[in-house]
Structure 1
Amino acid sequence: MTAPALHGHTGTVGTAASGHERRAVVGASAGFFIDMFDIYLPVIALAPAMAFFTPASIGPATTAILGGLVFASTLVARPLGSIIFGWLGDKVGRKKATVVAVAGAGVATGLIAALPGYQSVGIAGVVALIVLRFIGGVFLGGEYTGAVPLAMEHSAKRNRGRNAGLIALGFPSSYVVISALTLLVLTFAPAGSPTSAYSQWGWRIAFIVGAIISIGFAIAYARGVEESPAWENTSTKRVNPFKELLAGPNRKPLAQAFLLMTGVWFSSNASIVILPPTIATTTGLSAVQTSTLMIIAFAVVTVAYPLFGMLSQRIGRRAFFVLCGVGSLLAIPLFVLFASGAVRGFWAATVAVAAIALLGVPAFGAIGAYMSERFPVEIRATGYGVGYSLALIIPSFYAFYMAALSGLMPLKLTPTVLLGVGGICLIVGALWGPETKDRNLAEHTIAAERRP
């Protein structure tokens, strides 16, 4: 590393340092885009074609459960991926772990695009879909595990909040791109029966695009991003990161990060994944109008994320996440209003959806910075990955919780419970942990953690 680069990480941003920082942040944002693109593939692109993988004789409830399993399979695999690639990120480097993880995910996504349907191989088609989604989830569990800590370790302290928000742009922008792509394909490949054009081949286009951008990203990242100087300079790579994460003083940060991220995932699932079908059943809008308003709403969120990150840098991460929890609770009456059918018309629905999204998902604007600041450099990739992705498991089965809650309240109102749980977990998780925005990531080591 040159002297200017090292100076950039201690507070004076030189030309070399700012270049490394910029490339690392762009790379992490692109990687996050690919990660979220993969998550939304079954929710958006595959949803109109689920009849291709299921028999006509099953009812809508069973179809919804199968769809939920396809969605959840990639999420429950991510903790395993975060352990594997977190270990690699801490032992052999953040950069190498990121490249292998994203390339592997691209291969799994490409194989899904070639799958046969129920009419050809019966239920084996949807089983293969779930298995490949699981494998892809293992690999993608390593994407943010390596790329985000690397970007934060390259970032000047004062830039970490802003950079975390820029990385988070990959989240709403992926939703916008995949929704727009699906709408475009539906214009020339209509959906409907298992033999319709979209069911036969239209849905495959999004998966092929996902595979191409994953492989392309892996190549570009390998060529353009430098390894983290904080990782390169640490002298204790001999530690077992996963064992160290579960030992001594690191257990509490992991438990606290798990609670905080559980809140993030509950709130985001309730305010994003569940919204489209709610819109369709309560507003009378067409599928095209629903997709269009979701694109507009998430374009607004895209602009807001860097602002959320900068806010967390100004007021502190703890205060910011407490506000995020309060926002999730404030989204509940909005969701009730929406689900009751009181919101009618395209622009009224667009404003309501944008408001729910802004209240339900702002935490992602600072998560990249906070989760990197929470763990020592020797186990940062493992801690980030496990804390971030282990929390995915419980919220990922939201469809089953909603089905159970429907015995107590109308199904369309059950997401309000998820918003409430998410808000409470966010508030408690934030207050349980320390303020971290001023930590020096290079000096935050295991030895420092163990000092009395």
Structure 2
Amino acid sequence: MKASHHERRAVTGASAGFFIDMFDIYLPVIALAPAMAYFTPASLGDATKAILAGLIFASTLIARPIGSIIFGWLGDRIGRKKATVTAVAGAGVMTGLMALLPGYQTMGIAAVILLIILRFIGGIFLGGEYTGAVPLAMEHSARPNRGRNAGLIALGFPASYVAISVLTLLVLSFAPAGSPNSAYVQWGWRIAFAVGAIISIAFAIAYSRGIEESAAWKDAKTKRANPFKELLSGPNRRPLAQAFLLMTGVWFSSNASIVVLPPTIAKTTGLSPVQTSALLIIAFAAVAIAYPLFGILSQRIGRRAFFVLCGISSFFAIPLFVLFASGSVRSFWGTTAVVASVALLGVPAFGAIGAYMSERFPVSIRATGYGVGYSLALIIPSFYAFYMAGLSDFMPIHLTPTVLLAIGGACMILGALWGPETKNAELGANPTEAANAH
């Protein structure tokens, strides 16, 4: 079905917002990875460095449920649009402050503590980006278009990965990484954070001027006094628990197949930082092309069947990850093919998440339900580095992500089977009732 003007603008806005959200999440994984010596002493062991890097990554994720409660309440009470603008602008300020941070040589360990604190506060704000923008886009979308639109929104994730990799590759070309005193370590990494801050503020301004509030929210007869309390009571508890289980699986598989890969590429293949950035660009460009197709597939076969397939695909990613982690693949193109395959098998679920999570909650608490269900599930998987460290007592640490992939796949399958089919849900009504009616 042809999209309306408001639908196209809302979907474009949500995709841009998701781009900014994921840009922020993966800044330390890609842009900061070659410059960790700026924030840590050289005497730290590899295991401690890995845990510290995991904390930097996790700090923004564990803060997001707080943001989803705050901005979900705002989204349901004063509108999705206002909540989105406020959240993204606040996140942009936090990212800009990170770009100004002094390092270990100036402040000692306080430097990395400040980085973690700013990441945490930024996570609270970004917990409100998808809480408002994605439900708004889905409420603007015609029913047959929701799967495709969810995939277009999710495209912002691999697009951000590609953008950070391109930017990192460009900066490395004139500010090489290496010793703690190298150009990239001292100041080159700041460029990506400054860019993140600029695009966040620009997005907030453009979104406030160009996106209309959804008719579903405007026409809702009831505006809950406390949407979060409503979410935790009565018939809404089960959809929340089911969404939590499904999203826990999505995040376990995502962290194991996406977050762990970039820092280990050089160790297992011997490829340079420039080659690593180049192969990530190619691999995630393939993922970007695939996401709208995944969303369309979920509209054809149904959300339940699609997420079951996503869980199964997570298990298929395991042998490929073993092949990569064992060092059997060392060439540039071979590594690119394996990384792209693991990414495609590990995170296809994002292609339909925007539609499904919007369909699971009634309009009066949809922003809160979407935000909390999506964000609360981040917490347990975000400590992946600690699980890997614990599992290393029983197996080689480079193979421990395979356990996370298996857990992710199992949670997705169980979560999908626990919930109803929702692709035909009417987003102006109670989506569970509408879904069950079909």
TM-score by length of 1: 0.94
Cα deviations by residue, 1:195-224 (Å, 9 ceiling, x for unpaired): 221121111100000000000000000000
CA displacement 1:17-46 (0-9 Å, x = unmatched): 700000000000000000000001111111
Among 371, 379, 384, which residue is 1:393 paired with?
379
Compute the displacement of 1:277 (Å).
Answer: 3.0
1:272 is matched with 258
CA contact (8 A) 1:378 1:445 kept: no
Q: CA deviation at 1:285?
A: 2.2
Counterparts of 1:448 and 1:282, CA distance in 2: 50
Counterpart-to-counterpart distance in 2, 1:379 and 1:259: 19
Q: Say which of 422, 426, 431 aligns to 2:417.
A: 431
Q: Offset of 1:161 from its aligned partner?
A: 0.1
Distance 1:344 1:113 in 2: 34
User: Deviation of residue 431 (structure 1)?
Assistant: 0.1
**Aligned equivalents of 2:436, 2:177: Cα separation in 1:** 59
Q: Which piece of structure 1 moves more, 348-357 or 438-447?
A: 438-447
What residue identity is the alignment partner of 1:346? Answer: F
Deviation at 1:350, TM superposition (A): 1.3
Distance 1:445 1:352, change over 3 A: closer
1:183 is the counterpart of 2:169: yes
Q: Partners in 2 of 1:444 and 1:237 — Cα distance?
A: 14
Aligned counterpart in structure 1 of residue 278 of structure 2, from 257, 271, 292: 292
| Rounded Cα–Cα distance in structure 2 between residues aligned with 1:112 and 1:279 | 26
What's the counterpart of residue 260 of structure 1?
A: 246
Structure 1: how far apart are the matches of 2:141 and 2:289? 21
In the alignment, what sits opposite 2:181?
Answer: 195
Q: Match for 1:351 among 333, 337, 342? A: 337
Matched residue, 1:129: 115
User: Which deviates further from its counterpart, 238-247 or 342-351?
Assistant: 342-351
- Structure 2 stretches of 5 or more lacking a match? none
Closer, same or farther: CA 432–446 of 1 in aligned 2, 3 Å: closer
Query: How far off is 1:446 after superposition?
Result: 9.4
Q: How far, CA to CA, are the matches of 1:438 and 1:222 in structure 2?
A: 30
Kept in 1: contact 2:423–2:435 (CA 8 A): no
CA RMSD of aligned residues (A): 1.6
Q: Distance in 2 between matches of 1:238 and 1:45?
A: 42
Q: Which runs of 5+ in 1 are unaligned?
A: 1-11
Verify: 1:163 aligned to 2:120, yes or no: no
Q: How does 1:72-87 map to 2 (within 5 A)?
A: 72-87=58-73
Is the Cα–Cα contact under 8 Å of residues 377 and 446 in structure 1 kept in the other structure?
no
Say if 1:300 and 1:445 are closer, same or farther in 2 by CA, change over 3 A. closer
Using a 3 Å threshold, how does the CA distance of structure 1 residues 345 and 443 change in structure 2: closer, same or farther? same
Contact kept in structure 2, 1:402 and 1:415, CA below 8 Å: yes
Could you tell me how far apart the structure 1 residues matched to 2:50 and 2:436 are? Answer: 49
Q: Could you list the per-position Cα deviations for residues 115-158 of structure 1 after superposition, in whole angstroms to 9, with x for gaps in the alignment?
A: 11111122221111111000000000000000000000000000
* Residues 239-291 of structure 1: CA deviation (Å, up to 9, x unaligned): 31000000000000000000000000010111111112332222232222222
Is this contact kept in 2: 1:91–1:238, CA < 8 A?
yes
Aligned match of 1:310 in 270, 277, 296? Answer: 296
Matches of 2:188 and 2:433, distance apart in 1: 54
1:88 has 2:55 as partner: no
Give, in whole Å, the separation in 2 of the partners of 1:447 and 1:438. Answer: 11
The 1:431–1:444 alpha-carbon spacing in structure 2 relative to 1, beyond 3 Å, is same
Q: Which residue of 1 aligns with 2:7?
A: 21
1:71 to 38, 57, 78: 57
Correspondence for 1:373 among 359, 364, 367: 359
Task: Report the CA distance shift for 1:231/1:416 in structure 2 as closer, same or farther (over 3 A).
Answer: same
Q: Confirm or deny: 8 A CA contact 2:425 2:432 kept in the other structure.
A: no
CA distance in 1: counterparts of 2:276 and 2:40, whole angstroms: 25
CA contact (8 A) 1:376 1:449 kept: no
Count, aligned residues:
437
Q: In the alignment, residue 85 of structure 1 is paired with which amino acid?
A: F
Q: CA deviation at 1:47?
A: 1.3
Change (3 A) 1:447 1:291: closer
Distance 2:245 2:178 in 1: 41
Please, which of 270, 287, 304 is the counterpart of residue 301 of structure 1? 287
Which of these residues, 145, 154, 177, is aligned with residue 140 of structure 2?
154
1:42 aligned residue (21, 25, 28):
28
Aligned partner of 2:90 among 104, 115, 119: 104
Q: CA deviation at 1:445?
A: 6.8
SS in 2 for 1:431: helix
Report the Cα offset of residue 428 of structure 1.
0.2
**The one of 407, 417, 432 aligned to 1:421:** 407
Residues 249 and 450, structure 1, Cα contact 8 Å, conserved in 2: no
Task: State the alpha-carbon separation in 2 of the partners of residues 334 and 447 from structure 1.
Answer: 41
Deviation at 1:63, TM superposition (A): 1.8
Amino acid of the structure 2 residue aligned with 1:189: A
SS of the counterpart of 1:50? helix
SS at match of 1:24: helix
TM-score norm. by structure 2 comes to: 0.97
The farther-off stretch of 348-357 and 407-416 is 348-357
Asked if residue 33 in structure 1 is aligned to residue 56 in structure 2, the reply is no
**Given the alignment, which residue of 224, 233, 241 partners 2:219?**
233
Cα distance in 1, alignment partners of residues 34 and 117 from structure 2: 20
Matching residue of 1:8: none
Partner of 2:48, secondary structure, is helix
Tell me which moved more, 60-69 or 312-321: 60-69
Comparing 408-417 and 50-59, the one that deviates more: 50-59
Q: Which one of 173, 194, 198 corresponds to residue 212 of structure 1?
A: 198
Instruction: Name the SS of the counterpart of 1:348 in structure 2.
Output: helix
Structure 1 residues 446 and 281: alpha-carbon distance in aligned structure 2, compared to 1, 3 A threshold: closer
